[in-house]
Amino acid sequence: ASESAATDLRRNERAVKLPPASDAALRFIGVIRTPWVHRDACPRQGRPDGPECRLVLDPVWHDALQGLEEYPMIEVLYWLDRSRRDLVLQSPKSDGRTVGTFALRSPVRPNPIGTSLVRLVRIENGTVVVRGLDCLDGTPLVDIKPDRCAFSPKAPPKSGEGEAP
Ligand code: SAM
């Protein structure tokens, strides 16, 4: 599903030759259910008033959701599994003007991790319902975290975490 032929390049885009990717170190924790089956219909970035989407966790991770309901906003990380992964330069507007991959939030990147800050709507039986996503139906779920702005660490502070001089 991922790497595409050099002929798929837009003007001035540049791909590199890479050894086969080894994704074995990641454990997907579930799957994301969204209304979008085709890329054309999928938003470029999710919006807080977007449609409800569901993070369907594997049963082994259901207890890992305890306490998440406290957070109105949560961060979701996902694996953009249908992306090519070999572009260093991209022409997002297909007009020959290029930008480096790391200057974009394009799904095309060496490790196609997507992140979104989304609105938590409710949690029901191991499924987290959210608004604000922008991924295709069936996208693998990598991680869920509380919004960093609302989160205060539960563990005691470490030395070196004091006030800045
Ligand atoms: N919000 C995330 C971020 O900034 O990291 C992802 C942004 S990315 C621009 C969103 C686009 O990725 C969608 O519009 C769609 O074209 C594409 N996309 C969504 N799900 C995908 C998937 N599973 N595999 C490949 N591309 C996907």
Q: Is the pLDDT of residue 3 over 60?
A: no
Interface pTM, i.e. ipTM: 0.99
| pLDDT single digits (tens) 64-102 | 999 999 999 999 999 999 999 999 999 999 898 999 999
**What pLDDT, on the 0 to 100 scale, is given for residue 23?**
61
Q: Is the pLDDT of residue 165 over 60?
A: no
**What pLDDT, on the 0 to 100 scale, is given for residue 164?**
56
Q: Residues near 162 by Cβ (< 8 Å), separated by ≥ 6?
A: none
The mean pLDDT value for 34-44 works out to 97
Q: Is the pLDDT of residue 1 over 80?
A: no
**Spatial distance between the Cα atoms of 49 and 33, rounded to a whole number of angstroms:** 17
Q: What is the CATH number of domain 25-83+110-146?
A: 2.40.30.70
**Spatial distance between the Cα atoms of 4 and 114, rounded to a whole number of angstroms:** 19
**Spatial distance between the Cα atoms of 102 and 104, rounded to a whole number of angstroms:** 5
**Spatial distance between the Cα atoms of 146 and 117, rounded to a whole number of angstroms:** 9
| pLDDT single digits (tens) 4-24 | 666 689 999 999 998 887 766
Atom 14 (ligand 1): residue with closest C-alpha?
44
Pocket of ligand 1 (CB under 6 A): 39, 42-45, 80-83, 105-107, 114-116, 134-136, 139
**What pLDDT, on the 0 to 100 scale, is given for residue 84?**
95
Q: In what order do the strands lie in the sheet with 87-90?
A: 14-15, 87-90, 99-100
Tell how far the Cα of 78 is from the centroid of ligand 1, in angstroms.
Answer: 9
Closest ligand 1 atom to Cα of 44: 14
Tell how far the Cα of 157 is from the centroid of ligand 1, in angstroms.
Answer: 36
| pLDDT single digits (tens) 143-160 | 999 998 887 888 888 888
H helix intervals, the chain: none
